């Protein structure tokens, strides 16, 4: 297993196809976001590599789909065991590859990656199907669920192994084989997991991982006629391309996309708890989570107090070297992404927005080796119109905007006033109000008086431009299987 000390310049990754590592002719540079230096070469795969992976997955499908759910669950549990046994190596690698803090990788990413396998190993054993008796016709009807075939899985760079395993686990638990493409910016932990496949008892071809870019490897996967199903997490723009590309094949699609998530804070909220949680929901993982809060609406009577306390708390949210356990945030994923996030802040400032802390206000004190890294401090903005790009578009950085409101109707209307509908949070002690507002908000997930509390059994996904379909215990089971109705005349 790879030790962190071995993750040095010129680490060269290979594709994993048919149970073997396969080298690639072309490579892409991958950067350590905390230093700005190239430290890894990732395969720049295309049609040839994707075709080989799909062929391997297709060959493995008959045998894997014929295994019992328990046999498949045993393999998933073994994979979870092996990830947990190498926990610290995975933690170090994820932090270095993505820029997130070592603490976040250790407490969130890697434990959840292992748990995804455990959860679906258990979940797949407990589904039931439907049955109905038509006595007058002398017929018994029942349903069965069959795996679909080769699943194409495309995962993003913000929670690399966490979101890759969130797709692989239900796909293989239900008897499919997979060709997965992680983000070319964060491929190392997926490659490390491939080294565990044989020991976990994953038959060759059941899990294939092809590294590369969206336009090349992703496009070849989405447009492959032998891949009937695509599960994608990423940007709404890329999802539009996937939808167009897969339309001629009538593929089954699951699309988990961006968010522009509001927090609505009423005057009767528990302010201390609310501020502590909303700072976390705004800035966790450098704000690079689709569920992060980026618009905060505060009832006018408490607006001044909230703003003062929130800015003070945001200033204490430390940004710096990912390996320093005292830091809350590490580096953003890339130079291009940092520049994009900064451009949103600059545009807000030019529109008359007030930047209370963070970008352009607070200077970061970084260690020498991190001075060229892609860092941005937690940034709080007020005085911005709801029509501003920073209030309408997904920024995906440590930036949040705060605005006052007067009535519940206004808060709901403004909360819904974007093209996205992934998540929202509501803060109030009034039980009737939280139920009422939660029902009216156009969001796939609404948290009241908390954030990111997840039961993996329940549906996860968004409305409007935030996606198509849901993921979770039952939803993933339904997505990764086809239902068949059988009628028996007796």
122-157: per-residue pLDDT in tens? Answer: 999 999 999 999 999 999 999 999 999 999 999 999
Q: Classify residue 183 by its DSSP letter.
A: -
Length of the chain (residues): 490
Q: How far apart are CA 220 and CA 224, in angstroms?
A: 6
Yes or no: say if 444 and 237 are a contact pair by the CB < 8 Å rule.
no
- Residue 18: the pLDDT is 98
Yes or no: say if 119 and 168 are a contact pair by the CB < 8 Å rule.
no
Q: How far apart are CA 15 and CA 54, in angstroms?
A: 13
Whether this prediction's pTM lies above 0.75 is answered by yes
Best CA proximity match to 158, nearest among 40, 259, 87:
259
**Percent of the chain's residues with pLDDT above 70:** 98
Q: Does residue 88 have an active-site annotation? A: no
Q: Around 101, how many Cα atoms within 13 Å sit in the side-chain half-sphere?
A: 20
Q: How far apart are CA 311 and CA 279, in angstroms?
A: 9
pLDDT tens column, 230-283: 999 999 999 999 999 999 999 999 999 999 999 999 999 999 999 999 999 999
Task: Please provide residue 109's backbone torsions phi and psi, each rounded to the nearest 5 degrees.
Answer: -55, -60
- To which residue do tokens 């293989």 refer? 172
CA 75 to chain centroid? 24
pLDDT tens column, 333-363: 999 999 999 999 999 999 999 999 999 999 9
pLDDT tens column, 158-168: 999 999 999 99
Pick 461 or 4 by higher pLDDT: 461
Long-range Cβ contact pairs of 67-71 (< 8 A, separation 24 or more): 67/175, 69/124, 69/125, 69/173, 70/125
- What does the pLDDT average to over 55-70? 98
Q: How far apart are CA 284 and CA 286, in angstroms?
A: 5
Helix spans in 105-226 (H): 110-123, 160-173, 188-194, 197-200, 219-222
Task: Please provide residue 374's backbone torsions phi and psi, each rounded to the nearest 5 degrees.
Answer: -100, 70
- Residue 10: the pLDDT is 76
Q: What mean pLDDT is reported for the chain?
A: 97
In the three-class reduction of DSSP (H, G, I as helix; E, B as strand; rest coil), residue 59 is classed as: helix
Task: Please provide residue 208's backbone torsions phi and psi, each rounded to the nearest 5 degrees.
Answer: -120, 135
Which pLDDT band holds residue 434 (cuts at 50, 70, 90)?
A: very high
Positive or negative, the CA dihedral 340, 346, 350, 352 is positive
CA 41 to chain centroid? 23
What residues pair up with 143 in beta bridges, in sequence order?
Answer: 485
**What residues have CB less than 8 Å from 84, skipping those under 6 apart?**
114
Yes or no: say if 459 and 470 are a contact pair by the CB < 8 Å rule.
yes
- Residue 2: the pLDDT is 47
- Residue 5: the pLDDT is 43
Residue 15: count of CB within 10 angstroms of its CB: 25
Please determine, for residue 320, whether its predicted confidence score (pLDDT) is greater than 50.
yes
Please determine, for residue 440, whether its predicted confidence score (pLDDT) is greater than 50.
yes
Best CA proximity match to 116, nearest among 91, 79, 63:
79
CA 142 to chain centroid? 36
Best CA proximity match to 34, nearest among 289, 372, 342, 396:
372
First to last CA, the chain: 58
- Residue 4: the pLDDT is 46
Distances (CA, A) of 199 to 271, 335, 377: 50, 38, 42
Q: What is the largest CA-CA distance in the chain?
A: 81
Q: For 219-292, where are the E strands, in sequence order?
A: 229-233, 252-256, 261-265
Task: Tell me what percent of the chain is helix, strand and coil, each rounded to the nearest 5.
Answer: 40, 25, 35
Q: How far apart are CA 115 and CA 102, in angstroms?
A: 19
- Residue 490: the pLDDT is 87
Please tell me which residue in 49, 256, 299, 394 is annotated as part of the active site. Answer: 256
Residue 474: count of CB within 10 angstroms of its CB: 14
Q: How far apart are CA 209 and CA 178, in angstroms?
A: 8
Which pLDDT band holds residue 8 (cuts at 50, 70, 90)?
A: low
């Amino acid at each position: 297993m790879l030790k962190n000390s071995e993750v040095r310049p010129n680490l060269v990754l290979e594709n994993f196809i048919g149970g073997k590592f396969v080298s690639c002719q072309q490579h892409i540079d991958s950067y350590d976001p905390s230093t700005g230096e190239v430290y890894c070469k990732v395969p720049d795969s295309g049609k040839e590599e994707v075709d080989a992976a799909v062929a391997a997955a297709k060959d493995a499908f008959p045998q894997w789909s014929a295994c019992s759910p328990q046999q498949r669950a045993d393999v998933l549990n073994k994979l979870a065991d092996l990830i947990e046994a190498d926990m610290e190596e995975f933690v170090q690698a994820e932090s270095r590859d993505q820029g997130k803090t070592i603490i976040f990788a250790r407490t969130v990413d890697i434990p959840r990656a292992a748990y995804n396998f455990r959860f679906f190993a258990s979940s797949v054993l407990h589904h039931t199907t439907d049955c109905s008796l038509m006595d007058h016709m002398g017929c018994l009807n029942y349903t069965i669920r069959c795996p679909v075939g080769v699943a194409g899985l495309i995962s993003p760079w913000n929670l690399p192994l966490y979101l890759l395993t969130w797709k692989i686990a239900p796909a293989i638990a239900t008897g499919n084989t997979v060709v997965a493409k992680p983000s070319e910016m964060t491929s190392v932990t997926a490659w490390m997991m491939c080294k565990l496949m044989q020991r976990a008892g994953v038959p060759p071809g059941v899990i294939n991982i092809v590294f590369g870019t969206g336009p090349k490897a992703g496009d070849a996967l989405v447009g492959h006629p032998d891949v009937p199903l695509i599960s994608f997490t990423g940007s709404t723009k890329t999802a539009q391309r996937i939808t167009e590309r897969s339309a001629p094949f009538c593929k089954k699609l699951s699309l988990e996309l961006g968010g522009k998530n509001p927090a609505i804070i009423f005057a009767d909220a528990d302010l201390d708890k609310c501020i502590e949680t909303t700072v976390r929901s705004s800035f966790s993982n450098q704000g690079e989570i689709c569920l992060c809060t980026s618009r905060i609406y505060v009832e006018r009577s408490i607006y001044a107090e909230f703003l003062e306390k929130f800015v003070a708390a945001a200033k204490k949210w430390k940004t710096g070297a990912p390996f320093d356990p005292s830091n809350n945030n590490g580096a953003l994923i890339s130079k291009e992404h940092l520049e994009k996030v900064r451009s949103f802040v600059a545009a807000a400032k030019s529109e008359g927005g007030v930047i209370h802390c963070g970008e352009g206000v607070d200077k970061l004190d970084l260690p020498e080796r991190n001075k060229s890294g892609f860092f941005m401090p937690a940034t709080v903005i007020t005085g911005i119109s709801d029509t501003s790009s920073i209030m309408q578009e997904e920024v995906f950085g440590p930036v949040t905007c705060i605005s006052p409101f007067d009535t519940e109707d206004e808060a709901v209307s403004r909360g819904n006033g974007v093209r996205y509908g992934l998540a929202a949070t509501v803060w109030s002690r009034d039980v009737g109000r939280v139920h009422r507002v939660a029902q009216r908000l156009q969001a796939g997930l609404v948290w009241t008086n908390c954030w990111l509390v997840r039961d993996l059994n329940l549906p996860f996904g968004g409305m409007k431009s935030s996606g198509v379909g849901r993921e979770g215990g039952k939803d993933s089971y339904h997505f990764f299987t086809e239902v068949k109705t059988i009628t028996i005349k007796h």
